[in-house]
Structures are given as C-alpha cells and as structure tokens.
Amino acid sequence: MLAGFHMSAAQAASSKKTLVNDDDRLMALREAAFHDDSQSADQYAAQLGNYDIPSYVDYYRLRARMAKASNAEYREFIQKYEGSAIADRARNDWLLMLGRRGEWDLFDQQYPQFVVADDNQLRCYAVLSRATKLQKVAQDAKALLNSPKDYGEGCYSMLNYMYQNQQLDAGFVYFQLRMAAENGALPLALRLGKLLDIPEKKISEAFEKPAALMKKGPEQNKVSRELFLAALARLAKNDPEEAAQALSRYSARLTEHERANGWALIALQSAYKLEPDAIGYWTRADGADLTQEAYQWRVRSALRETDWKLVRQGILAMPASLRNDPAWTYWLGRAYKAEGRNDEAGKLFSSIADQHHFYGQLATEESGRKIGVPPAGRPVSAEELAQTEKNPGLQRALRFYSMNLRTEGTREWNWELRRMTERQILVAAELARQNQLLDRMVNTSDRTRGETDFGQRFPTPFSDSMYRMTSSLGLDMAWVYGLIRQESRFVMSAKSHVGASGLMQVMPATAKWTARKIGLTGFTTDQITNRDTNIAIGTGYLKLVLDSFEGSMPLAAAAYNAGPSRSRRWRAPNAGSGPVLEGAIWAENIPFHETRDYVKKVLANTTNYAALITGQPQSLKSRLGTIGPRPANDPETMKDLP
C-alpha cells in the first residue's frame, strides 16, 4: 500500500468486483452509505448523474453522512421527493437525529408527517417531547415500556427524563427492574440501577449469583428487597421450586405486595416449564404487578388445568389491548361456553369467525361450521393489470427485486399499497404473481378483508413435483404447502439468520443427515436451494418427524421449527402421569413465542390449503387432535433425530 493512501471499506469491497453498469454502481453506493463512507458515496453518486431512480442516489448519498447532515439538507431532500416512500424513510432518519439532539420544536413539526410511523424509538421520543412540555404522558410512556428487548436510546431517554422529573415514580422503575430480571436483560437492569442509585455490583450479583443472595435474604430496606425479588426471578428460571422455598423462608421480611410480586415471578417461570405447580403460584400472586407476558401465561396455566373459571377471570383482568386480541377473544368464548353462557360465547365467536387465521377457524368450528374457501371474486382483467403495471412505485419495486434489493423493493411496494382499494390490492398481488414474486403476492393478497382471493393467498406452485413427493411418502400435501408458506413464502433463495435454506428452510446438518436416511446419494449442501432437492429433503425429514410423534401434526410442526427434543419436552413427562390436552391448548402453551406462532400458522395454513385443494369443508380441530404425555419408550426414530 502506498504511504498516505487508505482504502475505505466500501472501496475495498468494490475493488474486488467490476462495476459493469449503473445498477452495479448503485449497489456500490448503497454499500458505501451503510458503511458511513461519504467519500466513496460521493464518488459513486457522481457517476450516476443520469440514473433512472435519482431519489435513491440522493438518499444513499445523504445517508452516508446521516449524523453530520444539517436540518436544511434533510428538509431539501424531503421537499424534493415529498410523497414518496424514500422521502418518508429520510424523514424517519431525520426524526431520530432530532430526537437524539433534543430539537423538539422541529421534531414536533415533522413527526405528524411521518406516514409509516412504525419506529418505536420515535414513539418514545414523541412522548419525551410532550413530557418536556409538562404534559401528562405517564400512561403513554408505560404502554411503550413493556418489552425490554425492544428498548433503545429513545425509550431509555424517555424513561430517564420522566423519572428524573417525577413523571414516573420509583415503583414503576422497580417494576422495570423485575421485568428485566424475568428477561435476563442485564444491560437494562444496570441502566435502571443508575436511576435508583443501586451499585452495578449489586445488580450484577442479583442477576448472576442469585443463589448467594438467597442464603442471606433481603434486608429491611426497599433496595435490598427489590434486589431479592430480581434474584428470585433469576433463580426461578432454573428452579421454580427452590425459588418458592426461598420466598417462603423470607416472606416475613417482605410487604404483602412484594410477596405477591415474588410469587408472580416464580409462577411465570414455572408456567414456561409447563409445571402443574404454576397454577398454585399464580393463586398466591393475587394483586401482583403483572407484565404482559405474565397476564397471558396466567391464563395459559389455567387452560392446561382446564379451569375455565380461572381462564375467564384471567382474561377479564388483562389490559384491553391484550384482552381484545383474537386469541383471548376465542378463549374467553370457550370459558363462557364451558360455564353455560352460550349467548355470550356465541357473540365472541361470531366476532372473529370471518377471519382466516387460527382463532378465526377455531371460532368457526365452535359456531357449528367447518372451514371452507370464500367465494372467488371476479378475475383480474388484462386491462386492470396493464394499468397497475404503469404505477411508478411498483415499477421501482420490481426493479429493486430484480436487483435482489428486497428491503427497498418491499418499501416501495408497500408504500403504493397504502393508497389502493381492495380491488387494486388484488390486482397488485396478481402483478406480483406475473413477476414470480410469490411471497409478495401472498403478503399483498393477505391485506384484503372484503374481497379475497384464496388462489393468491395460498398458491400451489410446482404441484406436480409436490404431489409426487408427498404421495410417495404418504404426507398430506396441504400440510407441506402450509409449512412452506410459513417457512419461506415460496422464495427459492430464502435463508434464515441461523443458516436454514430454501423453500423448506433446511439446516445444512439436518440436510446431510436426512439425505443419508432417505438414500439420496451424492448430496452436497450447495444443493439445498435446488427446488426439488430441497423439497425431497424437507418432506423426507418431515415424514420422519411425523412418524416419531405418532402422526401428530402439532407436535411434528413444533419439532420442525424448534427441534424434536424440545417438542418432546413440551409434553407431560410419562404415560399415565399427565393430562391429555386438546391440541389447541397444547399449542397455546408452547413456551417459545416463535414456535407457538409457527405451529398455529402452519396448522391454519394447512386447513385452508386442504379446503382449497379438495374443494371440501375442513376441520382444524381434527388436525390438532389431542396431545398426551410422552410414551414410555420413544420410537427408534427419536434416538438420533436432529
């Protein structure tokens, strides 16, 4: 390297490849922007003076110097491209800068013009801005501070300011500390400790060495008692019973409210472990400050015990934002039905039965009907399609998708959907189909409520290959389609953050193991994204999993997502010693949020696919079945199933 010459990260990356055309140069400009390399960004932008999407050239150039850009530069860019998706993205960037700088007058002027409004940091900054004007915003702030994993600088700044200015009290900050302990969020706990003047060492000890703190118990001061509760939450994560013994041992040193909070912390961890003791812990937690997770898991514990009175009481005690979720609408209906309050139950079921998701399907069956395919609307005409193809935003989206810039493509696509009628949305979904963007077709068509097109929502591509492979294995083709729809949305090149690939999102190690099991010779992992190979391995593995779980679709779907060993653990330990649960209750109690959501969506997809493929009404409940304890001897296929 020549003395005095330092190559930027973007320059180094681009030097390894030849920039053949302007699309290549835009990609290099984008890379420079995301490396905050303004020098390279200016150089690439200068070469794109005639690029046919100038707004993105200007945006990437601005983004490369985001933190240093002046308000005038942001304003000039937004005014130049006002009304476009990229102008709204730039306003998002600008608002974050204004929030960090505390420029509240300009923030308040610009925030109402932010159309997408999906940035939680900006929501916190907006509340903070109002707080600086002495507005009463404590309830708005509390509504935003309910999931420690979602906190960022905006929310930290809001919490800090409102506590220092006595708009949030110490009781709420201690509640946040207990929630941080529930979630193992030590960085959040340390920041909360600073607000409460608790030394970092004491916070760390409560989180990392809870057993040591349990030996001496809490002292007679608020800080010590709250640290004891935080340590109790950490101990309960590994051993709820030991935590319960510790709480009982020192209960006299705690206030009644603190004891209730302690039992709630233990109950949540016991509920995650699907322990029968959880329901007793919840009973002792009466009057505790509950997190959103705790409200829901209290009801899930009652469902496992089929205690419909506690189910009803638990749901009615939820905040309205939770109680009105379709899941709890359905389960409240079930509780009313179990208590003979059929009219109230029927009203709740009817309120969601027209929705095509898991709970809508269950509510439909509770109303005495099966799941069918809605009447098809009129087909998209050539004239409608031709008109939609002229939409400049959709043209930009298709251009970006062709360049594999999916973030930009989806931003432009969704921006245009905002302004469309339901009919226009269905036409846009058809345009996505014409361009082999099945994921975009599905997600677009899913937006309609009045006029629906199940052919768009539940596509059946490569049906010949699918029929051949599923038939040879004795698998339900609707189930495999339902799984693919959830796994990859039919994107051939899909790859997850953990390395799963292809239509059926197969992990390399699992693919190698399955290839050996099904006799697929000459397999190498670079074949995973080949369509037929991916389906052959995915369906082969799915068949092995299904057989190992006695044909239970919910258990097999959970195993496909989270691994067979976890799916086994989520059953009662031994034959004859645990409850036999209806499949919906078992699925509701899956401890992993991702897998719980996955199983519900795969089974709902499967039911819709079966109705579409067969033309006959279907039952979700029959697919869910019942799930009892683990068999005394797991099948041979369980022993090495990855």
Burial class (CB in 10 A: 0-12, 13-18, 19+), 639: exposed
The answer to whether residues 465 and 450 touch, using CB atoms and an 8 Å cutoff, is no
- The CA distances from residue 610 to 79, 115, 346, 478, 621, in Å, are 50, 39, 26, 5, 13
CA distance 594 to 587: 12
The residue whose two tokens read 């975009």 is 440
Q: Looking at the chain, how many residues does it have?
A: 642
In 3D space, the residue among 254, 281, 289 whose CA is nearest the CA of residue 174 turns out to be 289
Give the CB-side neighbour count of residue 606, counting CA atoms within 13 A: 22
In 3D space, the residue among 641, 479, 474 whose CA is nearest the CA of residue 562 turns out to be 641
Using the CB atoms, write b or e for 250-272: b if 16+ within 10 Å. Answer: beeebeeebbbbbbbbbbbbbbb
- Respond yes or no: is residue 487 known to be catalytic: yes
* Strand, helix or coil for residue 533: helix
Measured over the CA atoms of residue 386, residue 388, residue 392 and residue 394, the dihedral's sign is negative
Of 487, 582, 588, 636, the active-site residue reads: 487
CA distance 278 to 302: 9
- The CA distances from residue 474 to 164, 470, 518, 544, 634, in Å, are 64, 6, 14, 11, 22
Q: Read out DSSP for 89-143?
A: HHHHHHHHHHHHHT-HHHHHHHGGG-SS---HHHHHHHHHHHHHTT---HHHHHH
Q: Dihedrals φ, ψ of 499, to 5°?
A: 105, 5
CA distance 552 to 414: 37
Q: How many CB atoms lie within 10 A of CB 298?
A: 28
In 3D space, the residue among 624, 628, 607, 625 whose CA is nearest the CA of residue 616 turns out to be 607
Enclosing H/E stretch for 582: strand 581-582
The residue whose two tokens read 């101990």 is 235
Burial class (CB in 10 A: 0-12, 13-18, 19+), 18: exposed
The answer to whether residues 479 and 606 touch, using CB atoms and an 8 Å cutoff, is yes
CA distance 603 to 486: 10
Catalytic residues: 487
